[in-house]
Amino acid sequence: MPSPVNRTLPWAVPGPILGIESSCDETAVAVLNADGHILAEAVLSQERHHAPYGGVVPEIAARAHLAHLPVLTRDVLTRASLEISALGAVAASAGPGLIGGLIVGSQFAKGLVIARGLSYVAVNHLEAHALTARLPGLVEGGAPFPYLLLLVSGGHCQCVAVEGVGRYRRLGATVDDAAGEAFDKVGKLLGLGWPGGPALERLASGGDPRRFAFPRPMLGRQGCDFSFSGLKTAVAQTVARLPAGAMPIQLAADIAAGFQAAVTDVLADRVSHAMAMMRGTASLLVVAGGVAANQAVRGALNRAATAHGFRLVAPPIRLCTDNAVMVAWAGLERLRLGLADGIDFAPRPRWPLEALAP
């Protein structure tokens, strides 16, 4: 079992903080000063390692993290004009995610902590996404608590009431597939390779979203749960009925556009229900995760937010996907509250946000 959280640290962070992200297939390192301003950052994609297999291979991901973390760390510190001795703390993703990558990143961080006598923060990867909107200068006027978070990625799709650091209330979540997973699988059906999401968005831009009437699962239902399995199956059945041979590009574009339109309609509807649940207590809708980089999704969410009197905050695309800036920032947010962790904190492949409650 992990050691109890150390709550005796001073509120002032003693120096810059190094963030390490290794929960899936991006190796990332960033350093922020004690005020939360980015000094340097780097993200190394492992896409070429996993593309031949059509998805992330955990063992390959872990080995890549092990090979690249030392180099990236040296590079980031050099660009920030810092020595390791100048750091005040190290934060690393400790879950949820692929356990091999989490172990590599956490152990690397703990090595620095032990060698230099630094503070250590085991960061919940989902909390890092949840708190990104609070980075200095990202949102005009800041992002005070509480606010509504839509976390939408390849592995997660949920609406969360963000009430404070470590204080999260899940309002709804997917009952089957995540939206990003559906994007990748439909992209594969259309021969777009992996990852399919970005390529599908590009293909959909030239398609007719009205040609195929794909289902909108959960649309109009009470609450804000999600479902994408039936939509994915409907696309698969449509593709299976097509004549054998190469799919015409316009036909593929129309299928992509119809699928993307269905996803955006579902996301906007479910989030509208979540905003209704938080009306009177929040006025900010934050979207985070890889699917938040999709421009059609952003447009639909912005229209829904405006209709409900909310303001949409969508971080820059580089901060929507997995990155170490958000990990370092989440570490800072926790350290400012005197929340640090012992080096015996064990990484967790499953770690829901609700488990962070005191």
The DSSP call for residue 4 is: P
**Cβ pair 257, 207 in contact under 8 A:** yes
Q: What is the pTM of this model?
A: 0.93
The pLDDT tens digits for 69-109 are: 999 999 999 999 999 999 999 999 999 999 999 999 999 99
Domain ranges of the chain: 17-133+321-356, 146-314
146-314 shares the fold of 17-133+321-356? yes
pLDDT at 11: 59
The pLDDT tens digits for 118-127 are: 999 999 999 9
pLDDT at 140: 87
Cα 226 to chain centroid distance, Å, stands at: 17
**Cβ pair 262, 227 in contact under 8 A:** no
How far apart, in Å, are the Cα atoms of 164 and each of 71, 126, 167? Answer: 35, 14, 5
Please give the CATH topology (third level) of the domain spanning 146-314: Nucleotidyltransferase; domain 5 (3.30.420)
CATH number of 17-133+321-356: 3.40.640.10, 3.20.20.370, 3.30.420.40, 3.40.50.720?
3.30.420.40
No. of helices (H) and no. of strands (E), the chain: 11, 10
Percent helix, strand, coil in the chain, to 5, is 45, 20, 35
pLDDT at 20: 98
Low-confidence ranges of the chain (pLDDT < 50): 1-10
